[in-house]
Amino acid sequence: MNDDAAALAATIGGRVRHERQDRRWTLDQLAEAAGLSRRMVVNVEQGSANPSVGTLLRLSDALGIGLPALVQPPERALVTVTRSGEGAALWTSPNGGCAVLVAGTRPPDVLELWDWTLAPGDAHTSAAHAAGTHELLHVLEGEVVMEIDGATHILTTGDAAGFAGDVPHAYRNESVIPARFSLAVLEPGVGTTAIGRPR
């Protein structure tokens, strides 16, 4: 991990540990609630893992706090500003692609705003999110191939789409130039249903 990734992993690990201890949960209880191995939870808390977005979503859902809370300071402010370059890069590809969480709200209705870049040949596949999740995607540059529950849609610069995020979905760049898009994800009712919802 580079220095930025290591710092982010340490921040996430500390927040997961704080939230777990605040609930007086053991490592095993959090692992069971999140549907993860105990070893994975230990690695995340120690900052020694570079967890996938799916793993982070499972942890944030189990804790009932929403993904943005794992990477933002636990303080409430009227306005939270994320300066250019300060977002949390939670996915990267060997080709240079990157997904940066640039803003988010707190539970119960968690809204995430992402800045995605897919390098040529990049693909990101996501399992179905929690029931009721919705996503909005707006292509800023290039071409994005979306696959939503088995159906393929091709979006080019300026195109936008809205879709249910509680079905399997994927984003791909099959062109020879980078693609960039904004993604908003709404997950209603975080922390108001049974813990350990599948992701």
Question: In this structure, are residues 25 and 34 in contact, taking their beta carbons and an 8 Å threshold?
Answer: no
Please report how the helices 53-63 and 38-46 are oriented relative to each other, as an axis angle in degrees rounded to 10.
100
Task: Name the CATH superfamily, with its identifier, for domain 88-187.
Answer: Jelly Rolls (2.60.120.10)
Question: In this structure, are residues 11 and 71 in contact, taking their beta carbons and an 8 Å threshold?
Answer: yes
Q: Does domain 3-71 have CATH number 1.10.260.40?
A: yes
Rounded distance between C-alpha atoms, residue 71 and residue 34, angstroms: 18
Instruction: Pull the structure tokens for residue 80.
Output: 């939270």
From the list 102, 98, 99, 112, the residue with the least C-alpha distance to 81 is 102
Residue 25: the pLDDT is 92
Residue 70: the pLDDT is 84
- Residue ranges of domains in the chain: 3-71, 88-187
- Whether the bond between 108 and the residue before it is cis, its omega within 30 degrees of 0, is yes
Distance of CA 166 to CAs 57, 135, 197, Å? 13, 9, 12
Phi, psi for 27 (deg, rounded to 5): -60, -40
- List the pLDDT tens digit at each of the 199 positions of the chain: 677 888 888 889 988 998 899 899 999 999 999 999 999 999 999 988 788 888 998 999 899 888 888 887 666 667 888 889 889 999 999 999 999 999 998 888 899 999 999 999 999 999 999 899 999 999 999 999 999 999 999 999 999 999 999 999 999 999 999 999 999 999 998 876 544 333 3
Alpha-helical (H) ranges within the chain are 3-22, 27-34, 38-46, 53-63, 68-71
Residue 178: the pLDDT is 98
Residue 123: the pLDDT is 97
